[in-house]
Amino acid sequence: MGKCLWCNTNRQCLDYPVRSILPSKSVCALNAARWGVCWVNFEALIITMSVVCGIILIAFVYCCWRCCCRTKKSKGPDKEEVKAAREREERRVRQDERRVEMKARHDEIRKKYGLFKEDNPYSRFENN
């Protein structure tokens, strides 16, 4: 079955030319050649196999590219992540400093107007 080359032009089943992959034009034209069975057009088979091999090759290259890019990212934090973390830390420190300054300012205002309640360790406990 695999050794048969059917030629639609002269309607003959010929031995497949083993030396070459494609049959020569002297044996049978490519668009008239059928491989193995009558319904498998040699030209369509070549095109289909080329498309399938191309898709497989593209999928393989894409998978390799994804693996390489993922490996590069997982090696360590990139510059942008380090910069963002540093900026977050700087903002947190500035916010803490502002919070301490605001508390000191509010405490001064409370003292000035007599609203500041200092904890007296000798004050009496009142039971309600």
103-125 pLDDT, tens digit per residue, is 999 988 888 888 766 666 566 66
Whether 34 and 5 have beta carbons less than 8 Å apart is answered as yes
**24-33, 40-49, 60-69, 110-119: lowest mean pLDDT where?**
24-33
Sorted by where each begins, the domain ranges of the chain are: 4-74
Confidence at residue 54, expressed as pLDDT on a 0 to 100 scale: 96
Q: List pLDDT tens digits, range 58-98.
A: 999 999 888 887 666 556 667 888 899 999 999 999 999 99
Q: How far apart are alpha carbons 110 and 104 in whole angstroms?
A: 10
Confidence at residue 24, expressed as pLDDT on a 0 to 100 scale: 65
What confidence category does residue 1 fall into, taking pLDDT thresholds of 50, 70 and 90? very low
> Nearest CA to 14 among 32, 30, 28?
28
Q: How far apart are alpha carbons 63 and 55 in whole angstroms?
A: 12
* Sheet bearing 4-7, strands edge to edge: 12-15, 4-7, 33-35
| pLDDT at residue 52 tops 50 | yes
Confidence at residue 71, expressed as pLDDT on a 0 to 100 scale: 60
Q: Is 34 exposed, middle or buried (0-12, 13-18, 19+ CB in 10 A)?
A: buried
Q: How far apart are alpha carbons 5 and 18 in whole angstroms?
A: 11
